[in-house]
Amino acid sequence: MPIKRLFVANRGEIAVRILRTAKKLGIETVLGVSAADRETLGAEMADRTVILGPAQSSKSYLDVNLVVHAAKATGCDALHPGYGFLSEKPILSKTCEDAGIIFVGPRPETIETMGDKLAARAVARDAGVQTVPGTDHIATAEDAKAAAAKLGFPVVMKASAGGGGRGMFKAASAAELEASFERASREAEAAFGDGRLYMERFVERARHVEVQVIGDGEGNVVHFGERDCTVQRRYQKLIEEAPASAVPDAVRKRLHEAAVKLTSFARYRNAGTVEFLYDVDRVDFYFIEVNSRIQVEHPVSEEITGEDLIAIQLRVAAGEGIGLRQDQIYVSGHAIEVRVNAEDPFNNFSPAPGRITDWSAPVGEGVRLDTHARLGYLVPPFYDSMIGKLIVRGKDRGEAVERLLAALAAFTLEGPKTTLPLAAYIVAHPDFQENRITTRWLEDKGLPGFGH
């Protein structure tokens, strides 16, 4: 059944991104916004805008009943959650189902399973996909020390319900485990309402790689190649690229097969990302988790395949199937994305809301900017700090790096402090240009040299 009217339950650049594709497909749109976002670019683009509530997320974007009621009351037959906010809450998918609204995403039970890292690891093992050597739930620091003695230090503790690095820490000794275990459990409990922790062997020289998939919910899954998201600070991605050119072709092929195998086994529906840790020394990879939504970094996959992933999401949600076979998806060229955050990288990345007083975005061949920001836009203090994504595409990684350097140099953004200077520093660094980085590179080597 074709989607006629779509409710966009998000804000910022992803709301603009979804609205753009919906308009291209001739789908009428309704955008739910907080009072703080009533005059944004997204609100201008949507056919209709509904004020969900005040600026506080808990009383607007995070209120499931309010969001679904707004979708129902405006006659929408489908809802796209974007990323963040409620996108990975099974209750949103379930409430949409109950209200007779098509949820543009996985089934509630799939989101619930994939959102629990321990349950997702179990699915991966059942599907025959290799996970990082580790444990199930560990209840006490004493149990953690005993498990680490068997795995070997260093180890990393993770929150079963976690994400964004919360409840997560690395321990190189029993004393470090003892010192951080209770704090991490409390942090996980406070952030996710679930304080369960588990342990994995720490991979010393790792790269974060992930495979973009879309499934039809019947076991048919296609992939759109892999991404490399190794440039991270405190487990938060800053720069993403595709393909992962540091991964050998034979490993890349196995990576794709593992992602498809796992999501086919789970009868996965709609867009998802299967994340892996690539062990540089062992030339091998391990499953980490599945993100059951469209990802921030999806544009680099679009740039190397030429496919509109939001359009495919809407097609699958409408029950029209994926519309593509694997042999119809081609990867060409290289794309890199830089996240532009309203943060001060010279002041411990402190949030930097404020009004944009000068704005000149880069343009040119192979340059794309996904953003909701513009001259005069007031970056509010209430939400995630990301205000845009600068994406470039080249015939190979070298050309993409050159274009990214030129685009960053041409980008004028005055008013709030942003991470643009840090991005320019990273992309110009010889280690990045020669692609010899790991997930620890930015914090161990990159940041200590930044600003000096």
Task: Return the pLDDT at 164.
Answer: 67
Instruction: Please state the φ and ψ torsions of residue 376, each to the nearest 5 degrees.
Output: 90, -10
Task: Return the pLDDT at 189.
Answer: 85
Find the largest Cα–Cα distance for the chain: 60
Task: Return the pLDDT at 1.
Answer: 74
Sequential DSSP letters for 194-219: ---EEEEEPPSSEEEEEEEEEEESSS
CA distance 187 to 167: 5
Cis link prior to 154 (omega < 30° from 0)? yes
Task: Return the pLDDT at 303.
Answer: 98
User: Hey, which residues does 33 pair with through a beta bridge?
Assistant: 51
Task: Return the pLDDT at 139.
Answer: 93
Q: How many CA atoms lie within 13 A of 191 on its CB side?
A: 20
CA distance 8 to 77: 11
Task: Return the pLDDT at 407.
Answer: 98
Q: Identify the active-site residue in 11, 252, 293, 339.
A: 293
Between CA 378 and CA 27, with CA 363 as vertex, the angle to 5 degrees is 70
Q: What amino acid is encoded at 44 in this protein?
A: E
Using DSSP's 3-state secondary structure scheme, residue 139 falls into coil
> 269-294 burial by CB neighbour count: b if 16+ within 10 A, else e?
bbbbbbbbbbbbeeeebbbbbbbbbb
**Regions of the chain short of the pLDDT cut 50:** none
CA distance 432 to 397: 11
Task: Return the pLDDT at 150.
Answer: 92
Q: Which of 317, 302, 304 is nearest to 22 (CA)?
A: 317
Sequential DSSP letters for 249-315: HHHHHHHHHHHHHHHHHTT-EEEEEEEEEEETTTTEEEEEEEE-S--TTHHHHHHHH---HHHHHHH
Query: Measuring CA to CA, how many Å separate 55 from each of 44, 63, 234, 446?
Result: 18, 12, 27, 36
CA distance 217 to 88: 17
The answer to whether the beta carbons of residues 259 and 223 sit under 8 Å apart is yes
293 is catalytic: yes
Task: Return the pLDDT at 162.
Answer: 73
CA distance 274 to 267: 14
Conformational region of residue 80, where left means phi above 0, alpha means psi within -120 to 50, and beta covers everything else: beta
CA distance 26 to 54: 30
Task: Return the pLDDT at 254.
Answer: 97
- What crossing angle do the helices spanning 108-115 and 117-126 adopt, rounded to 10°? 100
Instruction: Please state the φ and ψ torsions of residue 411, each to the nearest 5 degrees.
Output: -85, 115
Task: Return the pLDDT at 259.
Answer: 98
Task: Return the pLDDT at 148.
Answer: 94
CA distance 274 to 164: 16
The answer to whether the beta carbons of residues 272 and 293 sit under 8 Å apart is yes
In terms of DSSP H, where are the helices of 49-126? 64-73, 90-99, 108-115, 117-126
Sequential DSSP letters for 338-400: EEEESEETTTTTEE--EE--EEE---STTEEEEES--TT-EE-SSS-SEEEEEEEEESSHHHH
Task: Return the pLDDT at 57.
Answer: 94
